[in-house]
Structures are given as C-alpha cells and as structure tokens.
C-alpha cells in the first residue's frame, strides 16, 4: 500500500511528459500508435530525458523517427510478468547514443533488473526472434499429427522449462503470437504463419482468455494437463534446432554474443540452461540433422571444423574432454559425464576377455574422477552387446574353464558395477542379447532406442541364462521364463513392460538424440 500511495496516474500525456525523468512506453503493439505517442513525448519532455519503448517486435529506429531526439530513443523490453522475471532486453536503435545506453543500463540496475544489450535493431531482437522459430516448429509438429500435450511434455519434462510452449501461447494469447509472427514477417524475417494458427484465429480460439486455445480451460485460472508419460513422444531437439539456428544468425550478424543469448533465454524464458549450451549437449551435427530448412553458415562452419559440442570438447563453448581406449572399450570424458562405448561392431560388441576387462577399467576410471557425475554406456554400430562371445565359450575344454573365466574375468566388472556410487545410464541401440541384456539389469537407468531388440537365446542351445535363476525371476518375474525357453525377441516397449527398460523411445519421432 505504501508503494501504491506513491503512484499517480493520469490520462494527460503532455502533462505527465513535462514532469518525467525517464519514460517507458508500453502502449498497444501498433507502429502508428507508438509513433503518435513518441511525437507527443518528444514535444513535451525535457531535452535530456530518455524515451524508451517496451516494444517486442517493432524496430526502435522506426519509432525513434517520429522524434527530433533519435539519439535518446532506446528499446527497454520487459518480460511478463516483470515483477517475477527480473530481466530486460536493452536495444540500441540505429542512432541511439552511448550516453542514452549508459543511462538506460543504470536505470535497469536501479530497479534490480538484469539485462543484455542488443547491439543491432533487428525485428524480434533476441528472445522473441528465437522464440518465434521454436513456437513455429511446435505448431508444425501439431500439423503432422502430434498432440499439444506430447509437445509440451517434452518441453517441460525433458528440456526442463516451467511451462509448455503451447501452454505459454494460450497464457499469453494465441492472437498475440499470431500478431507477432505477422509483424516480424512484415519486417523482413523469413517466416510462414502456420496453418493451424490461421485456423485458430478464424475460430477465435485465443487461449485462456476465451476458454479454448491449444487446450481447453474450465476457468481463467485452470491449467493445461500435461503429463510426464507423454514426454518421450517428441524429440526436444526437433523443437530447439530452429531456435539454435536463429541464435547462430544473431551471433554471425553481431546482434548479440553467445553468452548474452544464453543469458536471455535463461532469465527471460526460464530455460534451465542456455540454448547454445543445449546445442553443445545435443551435438551440433545433430542440430543440423534436425533442421528442415536452410542452415546458418555459422553452424555449418562449426561442424566442418569438427567442433560438435561436448563430445569433441568444443562447440559454441569449450568443455573438458579427453579420450582413451581400454582395449575394445572407448572412454570419453565429456565435461561432467563419461561415455563408455563398447567397440567391437564387427562382432556385435560381444563380450570377450578384453571387453570384460576393458569395461571394468573404464568404470573404475570414471569412478575415481571427481568431475564425473554420471556414466553413460552404449555400443558402437548396430548392437549394444550381443552377449558372451561364442568363440570364447567354444574354447573352454571343461566346466572349470568356464568357472575360471567367470570368476577372474567377468566377476570383477560385476562387482564394480554392483558397488558403483555414481549413476549409470545405458543407451541400448540395436541388439542386446544374452549377457548384453543381463548387463542392463545392473544399471540405474536403461533407455532403449526405436531399433532396440532384446533376447536371451541361451536356452536354444541348452544353457539356461542367469536371468532365469531364482534371483532373476525375483527381479523380473515369471513372465521372463517364456523368453528364456523360446529365445523370442522383444522390442523396447515389451522390455519396458517386463521392467528391463525404463524409457522407451519407440514412438519418439524419426529423430534420435545424439
């Protein structure tokens, strides 16, 4: 109440302007209206007063042209709601002076706002320019048959944003998104208005304010129902790739630095990390594969230079990285995690003596490194692991040879994994047979790709696998017996139902995270 008592309102713009020390305009997003307001402000404000606009799409220079003080006009773009989102974009117009920029930065700091400086006056500035690409991708996916909740579940539970993209559109207003896209198109940005958005405008499905948008609402304060179980229907990279491509355009054209772009997306949009850091996580080569349209030359050049992100030690940023081999096992430290790759693709990564020993050495290497927070394991080629090498087993002359192999070669790895203190994530790509399947029972999280196939074929040669023992049945259940006796193969979804797989990507999309 004390703060409210200090606020005075008026509809007399000229009178207010004469007493102003700093102006922030936030009228309707129409150029002619803003120009009219700025003309009156220019006529009535003291000469030294900075005139700032909260526009999200209209060029600052265009608005400034209505005044005789173009050097004192600047963009000051807040994010809704500004009481919670303590961040602004400060945008230079073509004639904005350094003194005006300095005063605006000081003002932003005085009201405890973090900020970035957008160095060039391009349509959409930084955040909205990236946003509109990502929102457009979301609507393209809907036009291909994906449901709104599948898209938004990937955004909330895999990317880690506080709200889904389409949920945000409903909250802000579908008509607002439509107008922003059209405004950016008019000002030269290469954009198409999605057909689904045109249809929603015709049907007046404007979001929460009309009770229906991408979702239906029972009341103004109701929320869309977005469940975690839908999170693996859509590859999040398919959504983010267009935004990453746009961010590359912004860097290449000197609009903003990579650090400021990431800062803006984290503070302005609630991303858990910067969009360019995410690009380094996914692999910039995978970003290129996920793009439907033209690729910005900056991205192409980065990939051509072999700077693919965390998996090579450098992408948009530099990361801790090293690679070594333990026999047929590749060990890669990728910043704060380790990727262990079984590398006998010609033998479907079958487990021979060198593989067992190499895996154990690799896991021990990761365990002693304090920077490594988690271990990821996968197989090279079309198999995760085809199980024990038949050639090795065929060389045993007696039962004692097999026992000695298990005790001295296999058991050290199994002991290491069973006592492991760091989380182990398995990425099953292709065949996981016999011991390859059983290894996954020891890992913390098992993620299976769309082409994963599981089987325990030992029963077909008269050898019951350990998974069929009383211990195995206690873990998985009697339904596993059928697969042990018949050697039947199962896909990722069947393996998930049996409890072997935690996350199945069988219906995720044609794009696979790299």
Domain of 108, CATH number, reads 3.40.50.720
Percent of the chain with pLDDT strictly greater than 70: 91
Strand-pair partners of 332: 323, 339
The CATH number assigned to the domain holding 361 equals: 3.90.226.10
The top-scoring range by mean pLDDT among 10-14, 291-295, 336-340 is 336-340
512, part of any domain: no
Q: How many CB atoms lie within 10 A of CB 44?
A: 16
Q: How many CB atoms lie within 10 A of CB 82?
A: 14
Query: How high is the mean pLDDT of the chain?
Result: 91
Tally of structural domains, the chain: 4
Measured between alpha carbons, how far is 310 from 332 in angstroms, rounded to an integer? 10
Report the residue count for the chain.
Answer: 514
**Given a cut of 70, is residue 399 above it in pLDDT?**
no
**Given a cut of 70, is residue 473 above it in pLDDT?**
no
Q: Which segments of 359-458 are extended strands (E)?
A: 374-379, 383-385, 424-428, 431-433, 445-448, 453-455
Could you read off the pLDDT of 278-334 as tens digits, one per residue?
999 999 999 999 998 899 999 999 999 999 999 999 999 999 999 999 999 999 999
Higher pLDDT, 247 or 186: 247
* One domain, residues 190 and 279: no
Could you read off the pLDDT of 86-121 as tens digits, one per residue?
999 999 999 999 999 999 999 999 999 999 999 999
* One domain, residues 17 and 113: yes
Measured between alpha carbons, how far is 38 from 53 in angstroms, rounded to an integer? 9
Strands 114-118, 321-326: pairing is unpaired
Give residue 394's pLDDT: 57
Report the range of poorest mean pLDDT among 70-74, 139-143, 379-383, 471-475.
Answer: 471-475
Taking residues 40-44, what's their average pLDDT? 96
* One domain, residues 366 and 475: yes
**Given a cut of 50, is residue 510 above it in pLDDT?**
no
Burial 379-410 (b: 16+ CB within 10 A, else e): bbbebbbbbbbeebeeeeeeeeeeeebeeebb
Report yes or no: 353 and 329 within 8 Å, Cβ to Cβ. Answer: no
**Given a cut of 90, is residue 409 above it in pLDDT?**
no
* One domain, residues 344 and 330: yes
**Given a cut of 90, is residue 508 above it in pLDDT?**
no
3, part of any domain: no
* One domain, residues 433 and 381: yes
Strands 321-326, 329-334: pairing is antiparallel
Give residue 513's pLDDT: 37
446, part of any domain: yes
* One domain, residues 220 and 181: yes
Q: Which of 101, 118, 135 is the last residue of a domain?
A: 118
35, part of any domain: yes
Could you read off the pLDDT of 197-248 as tens digits, one per residue?
999 999 999 999 999 999 999 876 788 999 999 999 999 999 999 999 999 9
373, part of any domain: yes
* One domain, residues 245 and 220: no
* One domain, residues 398 and 488: yes
User: Nearest 10 degrees: CA dihedral of 17, 20, 22, 23?
Assistant: -30
* One domain, residues 213 and 80: no
Tokens matching residue 352? 């021979």
**Given a cut of 90, is residue 364 above it in pLDDT?**
yes
**Host domain of residue 51:** 11-118
Q: How many CB atoms lie within 10 A of CB 481?
A: 16
Could you read off the pLDDT of 253-275 as tens digits, one per residue?
999 999 999 999 999 999 999 99
Catalytic (active-site) positions: 77
**Given a cut of 90, is residue 446 above it in pLDDT?**
yes
The CATH number assigned to the domain holding 164 equals: 1.10.1040.10
* One domain, residues 47 and 30: yes
What's the pTM? 0.89
511, part of any domain: no
Q: Which of 318, 352, 369 is the last residue of a domain?
A: 318
2, part of any domain: no
509, part of any domain: no
| 408 — pLDDT class (breaks 50, 70, 90) | confident
Q: Which of 287, 318, 349 is the last residue of a domain?
A: 318
Tokens matching residue 191? 């954009």
Give residue 509's pLDDT: 41
* One domain, residues 301 and 360: no
Tokens matching residue 373? 């927070």
* One domain, residues 204 and 260: no
């Amino acid at each position: 109440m004390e703060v409210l008592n200090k606020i005075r309102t008026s509809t007399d713009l000229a009178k207010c302007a004469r007493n102003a020390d700093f102006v922030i305009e936030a009228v309707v997003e129409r150029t002619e209206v803003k120009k009219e307001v700025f003309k009156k402000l220019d006529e009535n404000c003291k000469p030294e007063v900075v005139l700032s606009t909260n526009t999200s799409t209209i060029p600052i220079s265009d608005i400034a042209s209505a005044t005789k003080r173009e050097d004192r006009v600047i963009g000051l773009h807040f994010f809704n709601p500004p009481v919670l989102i303590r961040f602004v974009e400060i945008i230079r117009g073509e004639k904005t002076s350094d003194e005006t920029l300095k005063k605006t930065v000081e003002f932003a700091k005085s009201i405890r706002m973090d900020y970035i400086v957008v160095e060039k006056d391009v349509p959409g500035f930084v955040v909205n320019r990236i946003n509109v690409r990502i929102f457009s991708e979301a609507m393209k996916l809907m036009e291909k048959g994906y449901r709104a909740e599948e898209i938004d579940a990937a955004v909330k539970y895999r990317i880690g944003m506080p709200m889904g993209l389409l949920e945000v559109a409903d909250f802000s207003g579908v008509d607002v998104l439509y107008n922003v896209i059209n405004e950016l198109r008019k000002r030269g940005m290469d954009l198409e208005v999605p057909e689904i958005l045109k249809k929603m405008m015709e049907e007046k499905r404007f979001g929460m304010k009309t009770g229906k948008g991408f979702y239906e609402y029972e009341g103004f304060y109701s929320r869309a129902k977005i469940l975690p179980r839908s999170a693996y229907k859509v590859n999040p990279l398919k959504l983010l790739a267009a935004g990453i491509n746009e961010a590359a355009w912004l860097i290449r054209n000197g609009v903003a630095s990579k650090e400021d772009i990431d800062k803006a997306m984290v503070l302005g949009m609630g991303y858990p990390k910067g969009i360019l850091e995410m690009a380094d996580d996914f692999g910039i080569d995978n970003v290129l594969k996920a793009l439907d349209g033209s690729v910005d030359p900056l991205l192409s050049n980065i990939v051509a230079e072999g700077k693919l992100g965390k998996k090579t030690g450098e992408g948009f940023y530099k990361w801790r990285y090293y690679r070594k081999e333990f026999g047929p096992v590749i060990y890669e430290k990728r910043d704060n995690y380790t990727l262990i790759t079984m590398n006998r693709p010609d033998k479907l990564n079958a487990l021979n003596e060198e593989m067992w020993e190499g895996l154990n050495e690799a896991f021990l290497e990761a365990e002693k490194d304090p920077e490594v927070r988690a271990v990821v394991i996968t197989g090279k080629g079309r198999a995760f692991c085809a199980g024990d090498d038949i050639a090795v087993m065929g060389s045993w002359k007696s039962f004692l040879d097999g026992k000695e192999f298990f005790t001295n070669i296999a058991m050290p790895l199994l002991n290491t994994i069973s006592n492991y203190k760091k989380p182990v994530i398995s990425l099953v790509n292709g065949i996981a047979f016999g011991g390859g399947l059983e290894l996954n029972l020891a890992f913390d999280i098992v993620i299976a790709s769309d082409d994963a196939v599981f089987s325990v074929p030992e029963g077909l040669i008269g050898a019951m696998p350990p998974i069929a023992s009383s211990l195995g049945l206690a873990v998985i259940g009697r339904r596993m017996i059928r697969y042990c006796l018949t050697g039947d193969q199962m896909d990722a979804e069947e393996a998930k139902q049996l409890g072997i797989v935690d996350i199945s990507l069988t219906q995720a999309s044609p794009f696979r995270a790299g």
